[in-house]
Structure 1
Amino acid sequence: MPQPAQRESTIVIVAALLANLGIAVAKFIAAGITGSSAMLTEGVHSVVDSFNQVLLLWGQHRAKRPADKIHPFGYARELYFWSFVVAILIFGVGAVVSIYEGYLHVVEPEPLFDPTINYIVLAVAFALEGTSWVIAMRAFARTKGPESWWQAVRRSKDPTGFIVLFEDSAALVGLVVAGIGVWASHQFDDGRIDGIASIVIGGVLGVVAVLLAREAKGLLIGERADPAVIERVRAIVAASPGVTSVNHVRTIHTGPESVFAAISADFADDLTMGDAETLIEQIETQLKAAEPTLVSIYIRPEKRENATLVVETTPPA
């Protein structure tokens, strides 16, 4: 059964998808009637965003597959791969196409038409995008805690939340730029301004794409659990009877809500193999009760005379 956080992220993605599909149709109709480069660019932007949301939903679906012999820790990190693909699409399709389209309209400006329909579409799009943005912002704010927004993005292990938030933020900025471009083109009777607005929109998308690619790359490579989680794990192990010291606690996220932990600890010299196994089972139970995200735990007990006793705990098959 999906976790509450997963259900909420799905709602955020679906809301953004429905908004972008409706907006894309309206923008292309307006661009076809008025010949506006900025509106055409905004239409491409909405199509790219819609496709991105489909990819994120696909990534969520694929990430839910259970572990198997080839992937013993499951497929949760596949979501990170599709998040990286989304970042590439924003840059390769959204940003590059927008800049190229803007360049063509600067070199050969389109004749100007009545901009009324552009303003109507931009207002409707801003309302829909704004609604999607508010949903995404509230969902992300509930997980943010006392950290700054940028710190929360860097700490987050679920890319769906901040990707939609970044996309919607870029979309709102793009709508404002497109509106200014349409107005200025008619105000100064210069169609090149509309093309310049398109280039600016492409630049905004490029910056967002680079930021998202950077975060997705870190998740793909593998990031540790939150330092507070690591410290709680260390404290629980250190407080266990029979453990004299904790050498290290190494963690890595195998998915947004799953963590693998490898722990090395010194055990008392007089501890037998049977006692060590019992103790490790008790430690594992305590750790999973305190941190439900710990889906796999490996504990390496060591005696102080440097003889190593290895006992591993793994999730049930």
Structure 2
Amino acid sequence: MDTTRKPRHAARLTVTAAVALALLAGCDENGQFALPMPNGKSVATTAGSTKSTKLVERDVEAPEVFSATDQGLWDGRPSLGGVWVAHPDVTEPERVIIRNEANGKFVIGALFRKERDLPGPKLQISSDAAAALSILAGAPAPLNVTALRREETEEAAPIDESATSPVDAPAQVSETALDPIAAAGAAIDAAAATPVAPPAPKPETPRQTSSLAKPFVQLGIFSIEGNANRVAKQMRGAGMVPVIKQSEINGKPFWRVLVGPAGSKSELNNLIKAIKAEGFSDAYAVTN
């Protein structure tokens, strides 16, 4: 006779009885399962009571940074750098939304400084901007240009209805499900039979590769993904590592091509010099 079975059987009955008592004690007079609170109170769990939020980054208009409404012109020449607009009052490059007030179309692009001695309207646009806004070469159009700023906002995370909503009762319910003692014993047996997987290794924290405030170089903003991919391919051919970042505003996507990050100021200057040598004379340093 195995003398170890009786103690083990007695221990199992003790554990299962304790689990059953805990399950029964956790039910209130309405039959709902209640969770103990630190102050001695209990709160009944109900479907949909858990709320979750997450932080998302969005581009918002910042007219206090820059805003101009004037005639815009494309001179008809093809231009590099994707979607951009130039204005004589610009002090630093900015990301902007460009609207064609004649047809309601808009596009996201970069804003640069325009030389004051150039003839024509104050706003000069690139060939990609003209195509996105349906502006013909040499035909001025009323444009509004407003700076954009990125900010973090809270957004409600989607709730998994399958995890919170009640489901229909099954057609057949086993005796084990109705008997808390049997259910607890089955859970103990399942835990003993299932091997415990080793904990997954924690992901390594990415190392800080640059101490610069603006370690990346932006080549351009594109309204067509294929154009961004072609520029990235050109940069790879020149021995640089490009990054394509997709964003969206008012339901319209756009793609930015970046190179970096640079580890030092001298490396950043050399990177900008190399990119401008590839024809992107308006490339400038950005945060990310």
In the superposition, the TM-score normalised over structure 2's length comes to 0.24
Is the strand fraction higher in 1 or 2? 2
Is the helix fraction higher in 1 or 2? 1
